[in-house]
Amino acid sequence: MDWADFGVDLHLELDASGGRRAGLERALRDAIRDGRLPPSTRLPATRTLATELGLSRGTVSAAYDQLVAEGWLVARVGAGTEVSPLRRATPAPATPPPGPPPFRYDLRPGSPDVGLFPVAAWLRATRRALAVAPTEAYGYGDPRGRPELRNALAGYLGRARGVLADPERIVVTTGYVQALVLLTTVLRDAGTPIVAMEDPGLAFHREVVRRHGGTVLPLPVDDRGARTDLLGNGHLAQVGATVVTPAHQYPTGVTLHPARRHALADWARSTGGLVVEDDYDGEFRYDRQPVGAVQGTAPEQVAYVGTAAKTLGPALRLAWLVLPARLVDPVVDAKRHLDLHTEAIGQLALADLIATHGYDRQVRTVRRRYRQRRDLLLDRLGGLGGGSALSGISAGLHATVHLPPDGPPEAEVLAAAAARGLALGGLGGHRHHPAGRPPGLVVGYARPPSHAYPAAVDLLGRVLTDLGA
């Protein structure tokens, strides 16, 4: 019998110094004791294992019988031999889990309600996609991504976000962070590593840019969005690229004013700078049709980044870049040397979901759910009568709560909430330099499951009331 034909693989290293049978018994006991053979694991037939290990069948049968007698194994007629369900690996010494204690309610921003993932629709899309997928789809792929998904994205982004997306200029990435890494790497290699990033903004993204060779400068944000009118002046004159969230600024919740959009495009055209458009919450405008992407007005100056993390779920690790022509080759080369290509099965499924309009249906479903959650947050917190105030447009998966300047410090509010089992985000942690800046909270209303969300909002209201915030 050839080894490739064995039905159950079992790796054992025998020490036959005390005899072959004793060595096999010892190897099996050790494998069960340390957990390599979990309870109820079925073992190979005696003939098969004897052939694999170069032993006689009688030796293997005798070893099995001995371990059955000792209670390590269980033999059933017609069902073979398996590890006793009563045998458990010796547990490792218990160590306290790292990080803070678990929370009853989590209102931190940055995550969708993963319970809204469209399991049935995704299974149908996967079955349809795999039924017609070419054989080469299961091999090493194009660093740009599967052509099925790039074609589907080109159509969807054009009609839904106003993006001028040629499939040849789309690169599928393993999440937004990888897209940011690729762009930072290309900018660094081109000698333009200085990047302006919104202040306040996500600190983790700033760290991603720094760790991959970029230098970050703060780009102030006010009630009209990022101060793109400052680009090209003062210390920002040295900037080679800027990362912005025009549709729904994170975390202040404002949208980029038309004059600022024009200033951004003008800066990029006149200096050759790159605009990295993070289309954060682009599909989640609730009061009216969302403003189209900046990329549609300046496709040769803007690298557009979109993702399925909020519409479907972060677990898919699917995002996409729509690039200016000059950046396609260097980004593809950087992608090839980073991870070669993003997994293909999810790409095929997402392409089918978009083509059959299942993606549009999912966006409408979660948009409706998140609007209801935002309305509840406004209703509950709006009647507190304290000094706190919600800001931002009717959009997205989070809201900013500005705390009164004469009220409790931001850290005290966060600590009081944590003590009562409520996790919140602080505005200070999003600032480049938080000292002396107005305090606030960043409340994510998407993360809790639907049944727990009202209680979470009520608890937030009680915390703010009790602290006089």
Give dist(CA 433, CA 453) in Å, integer.
Answer: 32
Q: Which two tokens stand for residue 141?
A: 């792929």
Question: Encoding tokens for residue 73?
Answer: 């194994």
Give the per-residue pLDDT at 102. Answer: 77
405-414, 426-435, 451-460, range with greatest mean pLDDT? 451-460
User: Has residue 322 got a pLDDT over 70?
Assistant: yes
The pair of three-digit structure tokens given for residue 23, joined into one six-digit string: 């060595």
pLDDT per position as a tens digit, 393-412: 999 999 999 888 888 899 99
Indicate the DSSP class of residue 289: P
* 54, pLDDT greater than 70: yes
Please name the CATH architecture into which domain 117-356 falls: 3-Layer(aba) Sandwich (3.40)
Q: How many CA atoms lie within 13 A of 106 on its CB side?
A: 14
Question: Could you tell me if 170 and 153 are in contact, meaning their C-beta atoms sit under 8 angstroms apart?
Answer: yes
pLDDT at residue 97, rounded to an integer:
59
Q: Tens of pLDDT along 209-231?
A: 999 999 999 999 999 999 999 99
Query: In this predicted structure, what is the pLDDT of residue 88?
Result: 67
pLDDT attached to residue 87: 73
CA distance 62 to 122: 50
Q: Is 70 left (phi over 0), alpha (psi -120 to 50) or beta?
A: alpha
Q: Flag whether pLDDT at 447 surpasses 50.
A: yes
Task: In whole angstroms, give the CA distance from residue 89 to residue 235.
Answer: 61
Six-digit token string for 413: 């509010």
Give residue for tokens 């589907």.
152
Give the CATH number of domain 105-111+366-466. Answer: 3.90.1150.10
| Assigned CATH topology for domain 3-83 | Arc Repressor Mutant, subunit A (1.10.10)
Instruction: Give the pair of three-digit tokens for residue 227.
Output: 């101060």
Per residue in 66-117, pLDDT (tens digit) is 999 999 999 988 778 999 988 765 555 566 556 556 799 999 999 999 999 9
Identify which of 157, 213, 151, 152 has the alpha carbon closest to the alpha carbon of residue 180: 213
Q: For residue 221, give the 3-state DSSP assignment.
A: strand
The whole-angstrom separation of Cα 318 and Cα 16 is: 51
CA 329, 283, 355: angle at the middle one, nearest 5? 65
Fold agreement (3-83, 105-111+366-466) = no
**What mean pLDDT is predicted for residues 228-239?**
96
| Of 468, 466, 451, 469, residue with least CA distance to 104 | 451
Give me the residue spans of the domains in the chain: 3-83, 105-111+366-466, 117-356
Q: What is the mean pLDDT of residues 28-50?
A: 90
Which of the residue ranges 193-207, 211-225, 422-436 would you say has the lowest mean pLDDT? 422-436
Average pLDDT over residues 134-158: 97
Counting runs of H as helices and runs of E as strands, what totals does the chain give?
Answer: 13, 16
Q: What local confidence, expressed as pLDDT, does residue 1 receive?
A: 43
Q: What pLDDT, on the 0 to 100 scale, is given for residue 101? A: 60
- pLDDT, averaged across the chain: 92
Pair 40, 83: CB distance under 8 Å: yes
Q: Which pTM was predicted? A: 0.88
